[in-house]
């Protein structure tokens, strides 16, 4: 789960790190009032849980409260990089002398937390890593050792942090490290970490990503999930306990096991089709789960055909067939054609159930490739018809 900039900055502020004064608002009038209260030049920034907002036109500067209102009017309700903008942050604009980069994240390859510092702040850190790797300092911290003083000295010296600010930098690094652990973060990032004209360090932007698997011990953070930012279908599926991801095509995909579902998406694309979603019913799914999946996926207006691809290991094919029939009975038929491919545990029983029921719009395929091809054909003819 990604916190927005304003949420991240609230966490920083609570931890004692300086951030610019600002207010989150959701109307032009409130933006104008906030800018008037701040009484300076302000930045109006869209609050969506994704980076690259500046490049996408999501950040505007305003010299007067009227300009702030105008900026908010242009941004609120706009769609930026796929996210609908509900809120903007109106924030005191800072005069910046230099910009740094600081983060703590998990290095998957080394299986350790890593601190990253760079004097090339305000840029995409991956660009910096590619073009000027010498400007990035990295320090891996053994979790059983924790962050030690010498770690700080190494990181800041290697990264070329100005010596007169080393005490301030050390405070930022320590606090970020502590927040990383306390909030089960995958990433805590300040970019840019600015040195202002009067020589202080301020977090001008902030990004915190929380490990979804750890939300059970952070009820306060879970409540911050901005439901508006999600796709409504994804929200609906999550509420029903389904692993669903909305994609941009027209063939609904349901399968068991993440790897199998991904391979099904690939097979559909290879046959020239475009998947509308990813949906994993998981291992050992009962009929009810299958039924829920078959209510969510065809509920997407983009979907022209559904492909249900199941390999029965622990999952029983007869349970899957039963779930499919229950969904169709409950919905009074199927609005789009469904292709079913059942292999493995109890496949004969599963196919027999479907055969006996003989539901209109439901057909079986024997292999992975055949199922993908059939779904693509059906989506095409259904789309045209």
Partner 1 sequence: MAILVDRGTRLLVQGITGREGAFHTARMLEYGTQVVGGVTPGKGGSTVEGVPVFDTVQEARAATGANASIIFVPAGFAADAALEAIEAGLELVVIITEGIPVQDMLQVVARARQRGTRLIGPNCPGLISPGEALVGILPGRVFTPGPVGLVSRSGTLTYEVVHLLSQAGIGQSTCVGVGGDPIVGTRFVDVLARFEEDPATRAVVLIGEIGGTDEEEAAAFIRERVTKPVVAFISGRTAPPGKRMGHAGAIISGRLGTPQSKVEALRAAHVPVADSIDEIVRLVGERLGRPTVASRA
Query: For residues 280 and 319, which CB has a smaller minimum distance to partner 1 in the complex?
Result: 280
Rounded CA-CA distance 281/171 in Å is: 46
Does 150 engage in binding with partner 1 (CB under 8 A)?
no
Stretch in the footprint of partner 1 (CB under 8 A) among 162-170, 199-207, 245-253, 328-336 = 245-253
Could you tell me the smallest distance in angstroms from the CB atom of residue 337 to partner 1? 22
Rounded CA-CA distance 130/153 in Å is: 25
Does 266 engage in binding with partner 1 (CB under 8 A)?
yes
Beta partners for 45? 59, 89
Is 5 assigned a ligand-binding role in the annotation? no
Choosing from 88, 208, 229, 267, the residue that interacts with partner 1 (CB under 8 A) is 267
Is 53 assigned a ligand-binding role in the annotation? yes
Stretch in the footprint of partner 1 (CB under 8 A) among 18-26, 62-70, 277-285, 300-308 = 277-285
Q: What angle do CA 369, 373, 379 make, to 5 degrees?
A: 145
Rounded CA-CA distance 365/381 in Å is: 18
Choosing from 226, 269, 335, 363, the residue that interacts with partner 1 (CB under 8 A) is 269
Could you tell me the smallest distance in angstroms from the CB atom of residue 123 to partner 1? 13
Is 91 assigned a ligand-binding role in the annotation? yes
Choosing from 8, 67, 118, 186, the residue that interacts with partner 1 (CB under 8 A) is 186
All residues at 6 or more sequence positions from 235 whose CB lies less than 8 Å from its CB, including other chains: 227
Does 230 engage in binding with partner 1 (CB under 8 A)?
no
Query: For residues 63 and 142, which CB has a smaller minimum distance to partner 1 in the complex?
Result: 142
Residues in region 190-219 near partner 1 by CB under 8 A: 211-214, 216-217
All residues at 6 or more sequence positions from 206 whose CB lies less than 8 Å from its CB, including other chains: 5, 8, 9, 11, 12, 19, 189, 190
Does 154 engage in binding with partner 1 (CB under 8 A)?
no
Does 311 engage in binding with partner 1 (CB under 8 A)?
yes
Is 213 assigned a ligand-binding role in the annotation? no
Asked if 252 and 305 touch (Cβ cutoff 8 Å), the reply is yes
Is 313 assigned a ligand-binding role in the annotation? yes
Could you tell me the smallest distance in angstroms from the CB atom of residue 17 to partner 1? 21
Could you tell me the smallest distance in angstroms from the CB atom of residue 303 to partner 1? 17
Beta partners for 62? 42
DSSP secondary-structure letter at 4?
Answer: P
Q: What angle do CA 279, 282, 283 make, to 5 degrees?
A: 155
Does 57 engage in binding with partner 1 (CB under 8 A)?
no
228 is catalytic: no
3-class SS at 51?
coil
Is 99 assigned a ligand-binding role in the annotation? yes
Does 384 engage in binding with partner 1 (CB under 8 A)?
no
Does 288 engage in binding with partner 1 (CB under 8 A)?
no
Lookup: tokens for 43: 């930045």
189 is catalytic: yes
- Select which of 100, 101, 183, 244 is catalytic: 101
Size of the site for partner 1 (CB under 8 A): 52
3-class SS at 341?
strand
Phi-psi map region of 229: left, alpha, beta (phi>0 left; psi -120 to 50 alpha): alpha
Alpha helices in the chain (DSSP H): 5-14, 28-38, 65-75, 125-131, 149-159, 166-182, 219-222, 232-239, 258-270, 287-296, 317-331, 347-357, 368-384
- Give long-range contacts, CB 8 A cutoff, 24+ apart: 239-242: 240/292, 240/296, 241/289, 241/292, 242/279, 242/280, 242/281, 242/289, 242/292, 242/293, 242/296
Could you tell me the smallest distance in angstroms from the CB atom of residue 103 to partner 1? 12
Query: For residues 23 and 368, which CB has a smaller minimum distance to partner 1 in the complex?
Result: 368
| Binding-site ranges for partner 1 (CB under 8 A) | 106, 108-109, 111-113, 126, 130, 142-144, 181, 184, 186, 211-214, 216-217, 243, 245, 247-248, 255-263, 265-267, 269-270, 275, 278, 280, 283, 311-314, 343-345, 367-369
Query: Which residues are marked as active site?
Result: 101, 189
């Amino acid at each position: 789960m990604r916190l927005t900039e304003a949420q991240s900055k609230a966490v920083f502020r609570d931890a004692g790190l300086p951030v610019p004064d600002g207010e989150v608002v959701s109307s032009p009038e409130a933006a104008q009032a906030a800018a008037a209260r701040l009484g300076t030049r302000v930045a109006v920034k869209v609050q969506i849980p994704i980076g690259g907002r500046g490049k996408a036109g999501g950040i505007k500067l305003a010299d007067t409260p009227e300009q702030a209102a105008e900026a908010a009017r242009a941004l609120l309700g706009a769609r930026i990089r796929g996210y609908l903008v509900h809120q903007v942050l109106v924030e005191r604009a800072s005069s910046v002398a230099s910009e740094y980069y600081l983060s703590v994240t998990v290095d998957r390859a080394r299986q350790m937390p890593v601190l990253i510092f760079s004097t090339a702040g305000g840029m995409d850190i991956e660009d910096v890593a590619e073009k000027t790797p010498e400007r990035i300092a990295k320090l891996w911290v053994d979790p059983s050792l924790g962050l030690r003083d010498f770690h700080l000295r190494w990181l800041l010296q290697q990264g070329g942090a100005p010596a007169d600010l080393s005490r301030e930098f050390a405070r930022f690094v320590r606090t970020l490290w502590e927040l990383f652990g306390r909030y089960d973060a995958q990433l805590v990032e300040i970019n840019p970490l600015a040195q202002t004209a009067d020589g202080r360090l301020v977090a001008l932007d902030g990004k915190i990503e929380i490990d979804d698997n750890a939300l059970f011990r952070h009820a306060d953070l879970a409540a911050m999930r901005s439901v508006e930012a999600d796709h409504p279908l994804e929200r609906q599926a999550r509420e029903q306990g389904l692993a669903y991801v909305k994609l941009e095509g027209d063939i609904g995909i349901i399968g068991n096991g993440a790897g199998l579902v991904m391979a099904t998406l690939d097979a559909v694309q290879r046959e020239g089709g475009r998947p509308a979603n990813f949906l994993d019913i998981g291992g050992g799914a009962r009929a009810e789960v299958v039924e829920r999946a078959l209510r969510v996926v065809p509920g997407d207006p983009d979907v022209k055909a559904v492909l249900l691809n199941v390999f029965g290991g622990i999952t029983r094919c007869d349970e899957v067939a039963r779930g499919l029939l229950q969904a169709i009975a409950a919905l009074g038929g199927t609005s789009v054609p469904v292709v079913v491919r059942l292999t493995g545990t109890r496949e004969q029983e599963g196919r027999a159930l479907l055969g006996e029921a003989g539901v209109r719009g439901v057909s079986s395929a024997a292999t992975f490739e055949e199922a993908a091809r059939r779904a693509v054909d059906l989506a095409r003819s259904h789309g045209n018809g």
